[in-house]
Amino acid sequence: MIIDTVDHVVRFESVGLRYGLGPEVLQDVAFTLREGSFHFLVGESGAGKSSLLKLMYLALKPSRGLISLFGRDIATTPRPALPALRRQIGVVFQEFRLLNHLSSFDNVALPLRVAGVKESEIHKHVVELLTWVGLKDHIKARPPTLSGGQQQRIAIARAVIARPRLLLADEPTGNVDDRLALRLMHLFEELNKLGTTIVIATHNQGLVQRLKHPCLRLDSGHLHVDEPAAAPRRAAGRDGASSSSFEGWGSRSAF
Amino acid sequence: MLNRRTDLALDRDSLGRFLPWLIAFMVYLAVLALAGALMLRATAERWDKGIGATLTIQIAPTDNPARDAGNVEAVLGVLRTMPEIVRARAVDEAQLMALLEPWLGPAGAGDLPVPRLIDVELKQGAPLDAASLKARLSAIVPGVGVDDHRVWLERLVRLIRTAEMLAVTVLVLIALATIGTVVFTTRTGLAIHHEAIEVLHLIGAQDSYVARQFATRALTLGLRGGLFGLALALPTLAGIGYVVRRLESGMLPELALSPAHWAVLVGLPLVVAAIAMLTARFTVLRTLARML
C-alpha cells in the first residue's frame, strides 16, 4: 500500500458525472480537501450531493475529469489497490445500509473484520464505541429492532470504527433530535481533531451555521466552496458526555 | 479457508435447500457412470492382454482317422517352423468332445465327423494375418480353416471401449451440469445478497473476502449433497453387483471393482464439492470484477 504524503486528501479537477446517456448531474467540479479539513456539503435535494459523495467513496467512476484520493489518481489505480483506499474512507450512508441479519456489534465490527483485525482487538474497540454512542445495551440487537436514530448511530459507529483518514457522511443527523445531532457532530469534530478529513452532507442549516465549517455548495451540478464568515469554531465547550469516554481512541494506531 | 463466520446471510436463503439435492443427484449418477467406466476399462484391458494373440486352425475331417492325424501333424510341422508362432498345440479328441457336449449332447458327439482343432498362440503384435496363413496351409492340407480370435475380440474390445467412452461422456456432462448449477445458484445468491455485498465492497473488502464466503458455503453444501448422493449410490452398486453375480455365466465377463476403484468412487463427492467451491469462487470474482 503506497500512500503519498501529500497534504490533500481529495482532489477533483473538471469532474463531470452523468448516468448513462442522461444529462450531466455534476459539471466541472473542482475542489481540494486538505488533510484534516472539515466541510459541510450542502445543496438542494437533487443537486448531486449523494453523487458527489459516491465519487469520493469510490462507488462511481466520473464520466470525465480527474479524481485523486490520498494523492493517487483513481483512474490509473489498479482495481486490486482500491480496497486499501476504501479502508481509509469511512462512510455514513444516507439509508444507513446496515446488514439486517447481523447484530449491532457485528455491523460495527465489519470494517475491522474486512481489514483482517484480530477478534480480541475488534471486541474491545467495538464495545467501547457502541458504549460511546449510547448503544451498549443493544450490542446484540439486530438493526430492524432498533429505532431510526439508533440505526443511524450504528451506521456512524461503523463508519468511524477503523479511524478512517477521510469520513464522508450523507445526512448523518437526519433521524436524530437536535441534541443528539450536535453530539454526533462533536464526535465528528473529535475525529477531525485526530486528523480525519471530514465531509458531511446535510440539510440542517442550524448545524451548518452553528459549527462554522466551510461549505461545499452544490447548485444544479456546479460546486462552489463557501468559506465561513468567521474562523472555524474549534469544537470547544461541547456538552460533557462526549469527550471523556472517547480518550482511548486517540491512542488507537493499530489500524 | 473454512472460516465459518460469515457476514452474508448465505445460510438463510432457499438456495441452501436446493443445491445439496441437485448435487446429491449429480453425485449419484456420477458414481454409477464412473463405476461403469472403471469396470469396463478393467475388462477391456484384461481381454486385450489375455487372449489377444491366439487363433484356431480347423482341419476338415476325412473318412480316415489316420489321415486326419497325418494332416494335423503336417500342419503342426509347418506352424512350428514359423517365427511368429510361440506355441501350436492340437486339441485332443476328449477335450474337443467336452467342448461340443453342451451343444450336441453326450450321445450325438461320437457319431459326427468333427474337425480337428489346433490352438495357436502368436507372438504379441505378430504381423501374421489369417488369410495368408490359410493360403499357406491349404497348399499342404486342403480344407483348412483359420479362425482369427483377434477379429471378434477386437470388435468386442472396441464395443467395451465405446461403452467406456459413453460413461466418461456422461461423467463430463454431469461435471458441466454441476458447474452450471453452481454458477446459477451463486449468481442468484449474488443477486439476493447484492446489497450486503456492496456494503462489504464499499468498506474495503477485497473480492476474495466475499468470494471466500460463497466458496465456503458451496463447499459445505457440495459435501453435504455429495455424501448423500454417495450414500444412495453405493447400495445401488452393491445391488447391481449382486444381480450380476447371480446371473454369472460364461457369457458375462467378471465385473468387479478393485479397492483402488472404490477409493476413486468414495472420493467423487470430494471432487464434486471442490468443483462447486471453485465454481462459486470464480463466479463471484468474475461478477465483482464488474464493480468499480
Query: In sequence order, which ranges of chain A are alpha helices (DSSP H)?
Result: 49-56, 82-86, 104-114, 119-132, 148-160, 178-193, 205-211
Sign of CA dihedral A117, A119, A125, A127: positive
**Domain assignments of chain A as residue spans, ordered by start:** 96-163
Find the residue in A nearest to B7 (Cα): A102
For the record, the C-alpha cell of A197 comes out as 478529513
Query: How many contacts does A have with B, using Cβ atoms within 8 A?
Result: 54
| pLDDT of A234 above 80 | no
Q: Are A40 and A206 in contact (CB under 8 A)?
A: no
- Residue corresponding to grid cell 468386442: B156
> Which of A53, A101, A119, A161 should we substitute to test contact with B (largest number of B Cβ atoms within 10 Å)?
A101
Q: Which of A34-38, A138-142, A246-250, B72-76 has the lowest mean pLDDT?
A: A246-250
- Residue corresponding to grid cell 493360403: B135
ipTM above 0.90, yes or no: no
| pLDDT of B47 above 80 | no
Question: d(Cα A74, Cα A59) in Å, to the nearest integer?
Answer: 12
Distances in Å between the Cα of A136 and the Cα atoms of A127, A130, B191 are: 7, 5, 33
pLDDT range class, residue B220, cuts 50, 70, 90: very high
> Which of B5, B200, B203, B286 should we substitute to test contact with A (largest number of A Cβ atoms within 10 Å)?
B203
Could you read off the pLDDT of B175-219 as tens digits, one per residue? 899 889 888 988 888 888 888 899 999 999 999 999 999 999 999
Cross-chain residue pair A114–B200, CB shorter than 8 Å: yes
- Residue corresponding to grid cell 501350436: B88
Cross-chain residue pair A86–B292, CB shorter than 8 Å: no
- Residue corresponding to grid cell 448516468: A19
pLDDT at position A159 is: 93
Find the residue in A nearest to B13 (Cα): A101
B248 Cβ contact partners less than 8 Å away, ≥ 6 residues apart = none
Three-state secondary structure call for residue B80 = helix
Contacts of A89 in chain B (CB under 8 A): 204
Could you read off the pLDDT of A137-175 as tens digits, one per residue? 999 999 999 988 889 889 999 999 999 999 999 988 777
Query: In sequence order, which ranges of B3-129 are alpha helices (DSSP H)?
Result: 15-50, 65-81, 93-108
B9 contact A CB<8A: yes
B195 contact A CB<8A: yes
Contacts of B9 in chain A (CB under 8 A): 99, 101
- Can you give the pTM of this predicted structure? 0.74
For the record, the C-alpha cell of A121 comes out as 482487538
Query: In sequence order, which ranges of B193-206 are alpha helices (DSSP H)?
Result: 194-202
CA angle B176, B170, B151 (to 5 degrees): 145
Find the residue in B nearest to A78 (Cα): B292
- Residue corresponding to grid cell 510361440: B86
> Is A89 buried (19+), middle (13-18) or exposed (0-12) by CB count in 10 A?
buried
